[in-house]
Chain A
Amino acid sequence: MARNDRPLSPHLSVYRWQISNTLSIIHRMTGFALSIGAMALVGWLVSVGSGPNAYASVNGLYGSVIGMIALFGWTFCFFYHLCNGIRHLFWDIGKGFEEQRAKQTGILVVVSALLLTVGLWAAILAG
């Protein structure tokens, strides 16, 4: 078998999806989305530095319906990546590896991220 034809690990098709690997791939996807968000953040800073006209265009884009949906999505990505990132940091110091504990903290991450996102946007839209 040629080198490039070797199957790549993990062999996704033979594994049952479970909480741990689902949350893991969401962590990566939210991280990727936040990298795009970092570009939007830099674009916003550049517009502030470029003057009122450039700022007005970017502010208008970010304040549009599509812009607000993106900002809402990035807020969830931020809170998810933050909460799950803290979970990862605890793993890095050797805490929370037990199967039940990992499952519990995983659910806690999802619930926290959803509540923080909805809570923040409720405050934004109300205030």
Chain B
Amino acid sequence: MSLESPLGKVLGAGSAKAGAHHWIAQRMTAVAMVPLGLWFLFSMVALDHGTHSFVAAWVSQPQNGILLILLVLTLLYHSALGLQVIVEDYVHGALGYITLIAVKFLHVILAVAAVYSVIVTSLGAGQ
């Protein structure tokens, strides 16, 4: 155990030059989510629990497929950043680290599953 205080350890060490990344990424994804989120919401209202062929045809249109992939990646990135802060605030110690890793793994899995599904639907394999 070091007798140096946590402050003493870092004084004079300079900036890590990396602290702003989380903050900036959270804001950039937030800005992108404004149009993407509104587009998705009103698209869902228009689809109105439609039949599979109707919804699949909608997803298969290039502009919808591209926007869906952009939406899912932006949303899950923003979600991962937000949940990270919540976990860091409320879950401490080893459980906190495990939760952080689980949250990140879950978001990557969700992102891959979503993008894969949009592509499969667009290729017509889900018919």
Same complex for A and B? Answer: yes
Please tell me if A108 contacts chain B, counting CB pairs below 8 Å: no
- Asked if B118 is at the interface of the complex by the 8 Å CB criterion, the answer is yes
Q: Which of A31, A50, A59, A120 contacts B117 (CB 8 A)?
A: A50
Asked whether, in the complex, the Cβ of B72 is within 8 Å of the Cβ of A41, the reply is yes
**Interface residues of A, count at CB 8 A:** 33
Chain B interface residue count, CB cutoff 8 Å, equals 38
- Does B83 lie within 8 Å of A45, measured CB to CB? no
- Decide if B114 touches A45 in the complex (CB within 8 Å): yes
Contact indicator B49/A63 (Cβ below 8 Å): yes
A70 at the interface (CB under 8 A from B): no
CA distance A86 to B31 in the complex (A): 8
B22 within 8 A of A: no
List residues of A whose CB falls within 8 A of some B CB. Answer: 4, 28, 31-32, 34-35, 38-39, 41-42, 45-46, 48-52, 55-56, 59, 62-63, 75, 78, 82, 85-86, 88-89, 92, 120, 123-124
